[in-house]
Structures are given as C-alpha cells and as structure tokens.
C-alpha cells in the first residue's frame, strides 16, 4: 500500500505505483510516472515527463526531472527515464533532456551521492558509484560499472568507458577508455584499474589481454591510429579487447592521454 504524507503534494494526474512511500513536503508533478516500491524521504521534487522504475530511493531535497539548464531549451516536453534500484542522496539534481530526440537516461543499481548533478541528455549506465558533488555536463555517456570520486567536473559530450575509475577533484575534457584509472586536472591516465577488475572477478588472462592493447596506446610510441591498426592485427581478440578498441574507435572528442 502506498503511503503519502499529508504535507506532500501529488498531482492527481501523476501515476504512482504500489508500495511507495512519499514523505513530508514532497512534490510530484502531473507528468510523472513512478513505479513500485519507491521511497521519497522528504522535500523531494519530481517534475517533467519523468518515468521512474522500481525500488529507487530519493533522499532529502533531491530535485528530479526539472528543465534543462541549456539556454537553447524552449520548453518542449522532453524526458527523463530512470531505471530500478538507484539511490539519490541529499540535494542530488537530475535534469530532463534539452531535445526531444534523446531523453536523459539513468540505468539500474547506481548510487548518486549528495550534491551530484546530471545535466540534460546524459545517458548513464548501470552499477555506477558517483561520489559527492560530481558534475555531469550535457550529453555525457557513461558505460556500466564506473566509479567517479568526489568533486569531479566532466565536460559536455565526454564518454567514459566501462569499469573506469576516476579519482576525486578531476577535470575531464576527453574520453576515458574502459578499464582505466586516473586523476587530476587536467586528467591523466595512471594505468589500468587492475585492482577494481580483480575485485569484480576478472581473470588474470582477461586483465592481461586488456594490458596488451592498453600498452599499444599508452606505452608505445605509436599514435592512436597506428596503435589501432596494430591492435586489430592481434589474432582472436578477447571480448575485453574488443570493448576497449570499439570505445576508442567510437570516440569523438579523442581519448585521454
């Protein structure tokens, strides 16, 4: 049974699922669709054409689905889509998209710590850990299983590859390849996220295969095109190698060096 605190304001046109808890002073606007087993702790605002899955928790003063801060946005009914089992801590802000063709999207099983901000048209994957005061500019794509330390600022249109580990207080302007770790402003790669990969169950053989292609791009004197050409000559590329190479091939801003 859904419980709505008497001080909460829920538009009668909003769709509210089963077994939700909507705490004191929360506001849910008319175009919101809220799935089952969600909890809004207190003073949470959910606005816009926002669709939320099941079993998410929104802590005090999280603001979800509000208008894009892009000055080109003219009030169109753009969207935000959130999956399942996510946690949004205090004062977290998530904007809906600035354009009709691409909703802002967040996957499943992620933690967004206090004061983190996700701007318009971002597409974020699953199993993310986003620390305090991380700021995503618009149109950022983040693959699954990424960890980002506190107070990181990420430039618009940046892509971050799966299993990357980003140290705190970093400034990121170029794409970060999968399986890597680094920090700083400007951001510098420090090597592979080997410890993280081991903790996530990657075999020694898989990690070695990633190192083999990593060295071509970061430990040789080859430029990116030359490294790619040589990497593609490796017989029987592993799944991890293909993910690494496909990411670099798809990079628009160029990879971090």
pLDDT in tens, 1-11: 999 999 999 99
Domains 3-139 and 197-249 share a fold: no
pLDDT one-digit tens code per residue, 186-225: 999 999 999 999 999 999 999 999 999 999 999 999 999 9
For residue 225, count CB atoms less than 10 angstroms from its CB and return exposed for 0-12, middle for 13-18, buried for 19 or more: exposed
Over 90: is that where the pLDDT of 257 sits?
Answer: no
The rounded percent of the chain whose pLDDT value lies above 90 is 100
What's the full length of the chain, in residues? 257
Give the per-residue pLDDT at 254: 95
**Topology, domain 3-139:** UDP N-Acetylglucosamine Acyltransferase; domain 1 (2.160.10)
Helix (H) or strand (E) holding 211: helix 204-218
CA dist 127 to 59, 146, 156, 192, Å? 19, 7, 22, 19
Average pLDDT over the chain reads 98
The answer to whether 46 and 88 are in contact (CB under 8 A) is no
Cα angle, residue 225 at apex, residues 223 and 227 outer, rounded to 5°: 65
pLDDT one-digit tens code per residue, 26-43: 999 999 999 999 999 999
C-alpha 125, offset from chain centre: 6
Rounded Cα–Cα distance for residues 85 and 75 (Å): 30
Rounded Cα–Cα distance for residues 184 and 167 (Å): 7
CA-nearest of 114, 142, 113, 154 to 130 is 113
Give the per-residue pLDDT at 56: 99
Give the per-residue pLDDT at 193: 98
Question: Which one-letter DSSP state was computed for residue 191?
Answer: E
Over 90: is that where the pLDDT of 90 sits?
Answer: yes
Give the per-residue pLDDT at 129: 98
pLDDT tier at 138, thresholds 50, 70, 90: very high
Mean pLDDT confidence for 151-175 = 98
* Both structure tokens of 236: 């029987």
**Topology, domain 197-249:** Udp N-acetylglucosamine O-acyltransferase; Domain 2 (1.20.1180)
pLDDT tier at 120, thresholds 50, 70, 90: very high
Helix (H) or strand (E) holding 247: helix 239-249
Give the per-residue pLDDT at 55: 99
Give the per-residue pLDDT at 211: 98
Give the per-residue pLDDT at 232: 97
CA-nearest of 130, 124, 55, 123 to 92 is 130
Residues 6+ apart with CB under 8 A from 137: 119, 153, 154, 155, 156, 157, 158
What residue ranges do the domains of the chain occupy? 3-139, 197-249
CA-nearest of 144, 178, 140, 179 to 161 is 178
């Amino acid at each position: 049974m859904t419980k709505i605190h008497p001080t909460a304001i829920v538009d009668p046109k909003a769709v509210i699922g089963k077994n939700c808890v909507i705490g004191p002073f929360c506001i849910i606007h008319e175009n919101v669709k809220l799935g089952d087993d969600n909890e809004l702790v207190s003073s949470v605002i959910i606005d816009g054409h926002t669709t939320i899955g099941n079993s998410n928790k929104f802590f005090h003063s999280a603001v979800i689905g509000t208008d894009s801060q892009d000055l080109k946005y003219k009030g169109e009914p753009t969207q935000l889509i959130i999956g399942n089992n996510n946690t949004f801590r205090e004062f977290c802000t998530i904007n809906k998209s600035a354009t009709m063709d691409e909703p802002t999207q967040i996957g499943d099983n992620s933690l967004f710590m206090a004061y983190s901000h996700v701007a318009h048209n971002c597409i974020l994957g699953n199993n993310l850990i986003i620390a305090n005061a991380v700021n995503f500019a618009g149109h950022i794509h983040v693959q699954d299983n990424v960890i980002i330390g506190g107070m990181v600022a990420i430039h618009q249109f940046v892509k971050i590859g799966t299993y990357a580990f980003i140290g705190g207080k970093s400034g990121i302007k170029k794409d970060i390849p999968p399986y890597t770790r680094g920090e700083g402003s400007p951001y510098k790669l420090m090597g592979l996220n080997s410890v993280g990969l081991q903790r996530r169950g990657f075999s020694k053989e898989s990690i070695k295969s990633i190192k083999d292609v990593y060295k071509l791009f970061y430990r040789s004197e080859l430029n990116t095109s030359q490294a790619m050409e040589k990497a593609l000559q490796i017989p029987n590329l592993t799944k991890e190698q293909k993910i690494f190479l496909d990411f670099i091939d798809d990079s628009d801003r160029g990879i971090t060096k």
